[in-house]
Structures are given as structure tokens and as C-alpha cells.
Amino acid sequence: MKDEWRILSYRKAISAIKKHMKPITSYEEAKKIPGIGLRTAEKIVEIIDTGNLKRINSISEGDDIIKKFGDVYGVGPTIAMKWYAKGHRTFEDVLKSEKLTRNQITGILYFDDLQKRIPRDEVTKISEWVTCAALSIDPKLECITGGSYRRGSPDCGDIDIMITRNDSDGTTHLGVLTKLIEILRNQGFLTHELVQHNGESLSAKFMGICKLPEGIHRRLDLFMVPYNEMGAALLSYTGNDIFNRSMRLLARKKKMCLNQHGLFTNVSRGYGGVKYSKGTIIAQRTEKEMFDALGVPWR
Ligand code: CTP
Ligand code: MN
Ligand code: MN
């Protein structure tokens, strides 16, 4: 319900509980876990004592509909609430009376497919398909699947593939993304193109929908990465998002700046943290180099 902070604090609590290696049996024990606040500890105890959480039962049907609207690709919580307030209760209502973007229409039409988690071996197959097409353009391209797949998840929300090329022979992957998209589209593999950023740059990005011949529609993200930035890209496109936030915050505390291109020092910031200068690059080639420069142990 647009409550980003609460989502974040619940996710922190969930990972704190996952890391706690023995069953939690009391309020005292719950509140001692780092990342668990007093209110969360109270809820944990309620679940221990009653096997249930009263608040969840009071989530209304309206909340469910708003959540469903907000889960559509290209629709955020604000639009979802606006639709509900206007009296829409189903996708038919929305399709009939709202002026939608092309992506929102696609998001609604393929909603059921896109809501389904992707089993790990299907992510492997899709990655192999894309890699095969990429290698037909240039056999020296390297494709690495990041996101939840690289974190070892048994199933994923989408497929995130980074593509780079060792440029030491003087050739780069410039222009590859456009060719790749065309090949994948002609194969009938790529069914929808949602977003393409800075198309012809070495850092071009693509978001779309793909489908294996025997499969259903799946979200696909492609990230082109300059070879020297691969460590920074692996770090930021593997995530998860909370890990990225904490690494970026750590960099900031050390007067550095971390993004998908690298780790920078001597970044001058003005009022409200607005950056004045890009700073000096200190790490970007490998993940280990990034961790070392931030003083975080690499395992
Ligand atoms: N990411 C990013 N910039 C984007 C898109 C994604 O930096 N434009 C990062 C996210 O912060 C995340 C990683 O790339 O660390 C993968 O993003 P995403 O696919 O949204 O999430 P996953 O962690 O892969 O989870 P899921 O299984 O739901 O896809
Ligand atoms: Mn992902
Ligand atoms: Mn993604």
C-alpha cells in the first residue's frame, strides 16, 4: 500500500529470523535478535502463542484488489489505488475505461504468466537460448545470468542476463544488443519489448518478455556491461536489492560512491547529498576488488 519503509523493515526482519539458527520461543528472545524491533517481536509472540496474526485477517478484499492492480507490469501503488478509488474491481473494468500505456496493457494481458515464478532449470534453458543467439553474433561475447538465479534461488521472478566482451583485442560489444534483440524476435523467442535504454551504448539495457517454444511468457532483462566494469555490474545486478542498498550506504559512509559502474572516491556532495563530481574510480573490474576496497570480507 505504498508503504516502502514497512516493506523494507519486514524484509529485514525476515532475513534476521532466517539467520537465527534456533526456534524463537519468547518475546525476550525475539526482541534480542538484531533487526527485530519491539513491534515485530510482539507479532512474533502472537504467532507463537496463537498460531495466527490478527492483523492479517483484517486485510480487506480492497487491499487484495489494489495489490493485484499494483502487481501489473508498469503499474505502481499510486495508479493501483487510483483505479480502485474510481470503482474498478477487475482487469476488465480497467481495460474498458482507463487510458493505458502499451506496457500496462501487455502487463494485464500476460498477468497470469508473469505472476508465476520461473523454475531454476527453465531460467538455465532461457539463459542458454540467449547465450547461443549472442554467440552467433560474436563468439567472444560472455553472458552471465545474475539476479536471484546467481544467488542460488530455486525459482526466479525474471531472468537477468549480463553481456560483455573482452575488449583487449580492440573490439567491443557496441551494437550487439540491437542485433541480439532482432535475432531473438525473429526466432519468436522474444514476444514483447518493454523498455530499451541508451540503445547503442556499451551500457545499454533491455527489458522485455520472452517464451521458450514449450513454455509460458517470462520477463527478461538484458544488461550490456563494459568489460572493465564487470565486477561492479555483477555486484549490482546480482543483488538482492537490500544487499545493494547496504553496500551503497556503506560506500557513502566511507565518503565513496558505489553504483553499477564502479566504486568511486573523492565524490563531492552538496546539500541533500547531491553529487557535484563523479569522483575517482577505485574499483570496478572484479567483485573481490570491490569488496576489498569497501573493507567487506570476500567469500
Ligand atoms: N537492478 C538494478 N537496476 C535495474 C534492475 C535491477 O540495479 N534497472 C538490480 C536489482 O537491485 C537486483 C538485481 O538487479 O539486485 C536483479 O533485479 P530483479 O530482477 O528485480 O530482482 P531479483 O533479485 O533477481 O529477484 P526476482 O527473482 O524477483 O527477479
Ligand atoms: Mn531477477
Ligand atoms: Mn530483473
Lowest-confidence pick of 9-13, 19-23, 34-38, 56-60: 56-60
The per-residue pLDDT for 221 is 98
Domain of 13, CATH number, reads 1.10.150.110
On whether residue 258 sits in a domain, the answer given is yes
Output the pLDDT for position 270. Answer: 77
> 54 and 85 share a domain?
no
Residue 128 lies in a domain: yes
Residue range of the domain that includes 133: 118-225
- pTM of the model as a whole: 0.86
Residue 1 has pLDDT above 80, yes or no: no
Report the alpha-carbon distance of residue 60 to residue 182 in Å, rounded: 45
For the CA of 221, the nearest ligand: 3
List residues near ligand 1 (CB under 6 A): 147-148, 156-158, 160, 236-237, 239-241, 244, 260
| 145 domain residue, yes or no | yes
State the ligand closest to the CA atom of 115. Answer: 1
User: At residue 41, does pLDDT exceed 80?
Assistant: yes
pLDDT at 57: 78
Look at residue 102 and tell me if it is in a domain.
Answer: yes
Is 68 among the catalytic positions? Answer: no
Best residue among 240, 245, 287 to mutate for probing ligand 1's pocket (most ligand atoms within 8 Å of CB) is: 240
Ligand 1 atom at minimum distance from 149 CA = 24
Count up the domains in the chain and report the number.
4
Q: Which of 253, 251, 244 is nearest to 283 (CA)?
A: 251
Pull the grid cell for residue 154: 530455486
- Closest residue by CA, ligand 1 atom 21: 147
- Could you give phi then psi for residue 55, rounded to 5 degrees? -55, -35
Q: Which of 225, 248, 267 is the last residue of a domain?
A: 225
CATH number at residue 248: 3.30.210.10
Say if residue 131 is in the same domain as residue 219.
yes
Within-domain flag for 299: no
Is 146 among the domain residues?
yes
Alpha carbon nearest to ligand 1 atom 28, residue = 157
36 located within any domain: yes
Taking a 5 Å cut-off on Cβ, the residues next to ion ligand 2 are 147, 158, 160
pLDDT digits (tens, 9 = 90+) for 218-237: 999 999 999 999 999 999 99
Name the residue with higher pLDDT: 32 or 56.
Answer: 32
The answer to whether position 172 is within a domain reads yes
Name the helix (H) or strand (E) containing 136.
helix 120-137
The CATH number linked to 195 is 3.30.460.10
Write out pLDDT tens, residues 130-179. 999 999 999 999 999 999 999 999 999 999 999 999 999 999 999 999 99
Q: What pLDDT shows up at residue 271?
A: 78
